[in-house]
């Protein structure tokens, strides 16, 4: 039986005891949440574990206050193809004191699905101008490496060898490269994107001072490239490797054995 499904059959206290390892310890201290009973000083529970029996998925959500609209932290993992693999499905980290940008809903109130179904261009432009990347509704908390450390710790306990994920956006893929992930699929595509952003390249030629998401100079940093790609630039060029537009790379981390892969040398965020 796969590991998440096996753990989900345990008692609630046993499950929470193991899954607590996936919550960055710094969050408990920063937001004054008891790491044993998951409550604030008034006894209000602020951490939710979704881990029903017989399911192969776990989701954890932490809020600063129970009535906050957005979690400060949310992670989902699921069983992989075999006992040696764990899927990291998604991660959301929000600074609750930062401004919120409604890039997740369009002007008709529909879910944008991170800009893949529809887009809220006005909110995206506001988010871009304050330094956010595609898909961010708020500023993050800089916890990626701490999250990965927790994932690796749980994986070592369970003798899981590999953590897999799909990088939703270009900037995600570059950040995960820096954290020791490499590619199941998409390495050559990421290399091709880098070449196309070089001066004279096909993506470089698509930069446009009139378009806020494609400003000249965006080719020089991770966030700028990510916004330009999010705006659909790849689908507009003729390239054998990039003919399908942006395609989320499939990546993996060998637990305890980080790889050294770089598709954007000397990049700044």
Residue 71 has pLDDT above 80, yes or no: yes
75 pLDDT tier (thresholds 50, 70, 90): very high
Residue 113 has pLDDT above 90, yes or no: no
- The predicted pLDDT at position 101 comes to 96
258 pLDDT tier (thresholds 50, 70, 90): very high
Q: Per-residue pLDDT averaged across 46-61, rounded?
A: 95
117 pLDDT tier (thresholds 50, 70, 90): confident
DSSP letter string over 90-129?
EEEE--TTSPP--TTB-TTS-B-TTTTS---HHHHHHHHH
Of 51-60, 73-82, 106-115, 210-219, the least confident: 106-115
Distance, CA of 201 to chain centre: 28
Burial class (CB in 10 A: 0-12, 13-18, 19+), 82: exposed
Residue 27 has pLDDT above 90, yes or no: yes
Residue 79 has pLDDT above 80, yes or no: yes
CB within 8 Å of 43: residues ≥ 6 apart: none
Domains of the chain (ranges, CATH numbers): 1-97+139-166 (3.40.630), 99-137 (no CATH)
CA–CA distances in Å: residue 50 to residues 19, 61, 74, 150, 265: 10, 8, 11, 18, 39
Residue 54 has pLDDT above 90, yes or no: no
- The predicted pLDDT at position 136 comes to 96
The percentage of residues in the chain with a pLDDT greater than 70, rounded to a whole number, is 100
Helix (H) or strand (E) segment spanning residue 25: helix 25-30
As a whole number, the mean pLDDT across the chain is 94
Give dist(CA 61, CA 63) in Å, integer.
7
Q: Per-residue pLDDT averaged across 108-125, rounded?
A: 89
Look at strands 57-62 and 47-50 and give their pairing: antiparallel
């Amino acid at each position: 039986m796969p590991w998440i499904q096996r753990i989900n059959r345990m008692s609630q206290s046993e499950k929470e005891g193991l899954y607590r390892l996936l919550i960055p310890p710094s969050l408990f201290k920063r937001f004054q949440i008891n790491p044993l009973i998951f409550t604030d000083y008034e006894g209000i529970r602020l951490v939710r574990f979704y881990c029903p029996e017989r399911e192969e998925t776990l989701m954890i959500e932490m809020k600063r206050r129970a009535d906050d609209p957005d979690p400060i932290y949310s992670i989902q993992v699921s069983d992989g193809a075999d006992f040696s693999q764990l899927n990291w499905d998604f991660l959301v980290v929000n600074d609750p004191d930062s401004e919120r940008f409604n890039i997740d809903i369009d002007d008709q109130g529909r879910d944008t699905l991170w800009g893949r179904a529809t887009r809220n261009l006005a909110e995206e432009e506001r988010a871009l101008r304050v330094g956010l990347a595609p898909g961010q509704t708020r500023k993050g908390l800089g916890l990626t490496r701490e999250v990965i450390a927790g994932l690796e710790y749980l994986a070592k306990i369970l003798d899981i060898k590999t953590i897999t994920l799909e990088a939703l956006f270009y900037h995600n893929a570059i950040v995960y490269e820096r954290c020791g992930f490499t590619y199941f699929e998409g390495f050559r595509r990421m290399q091709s994107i880098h070449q196309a952003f070089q001066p004279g390249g096909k993506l470089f030629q698509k930069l446009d001072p009139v378009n806020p998401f494609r400003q000249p100079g965006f080719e020089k940093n991770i966030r700028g490239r990510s916004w330009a790609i999010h705006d659909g630039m790849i689908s507009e060029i003729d390239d054998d490797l990039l003919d399908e537009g942006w395609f989320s790379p499939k990546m993996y981390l060998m637990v305890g054995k980080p790889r050294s892969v770089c598709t954007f040398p000397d990049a700044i965020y």
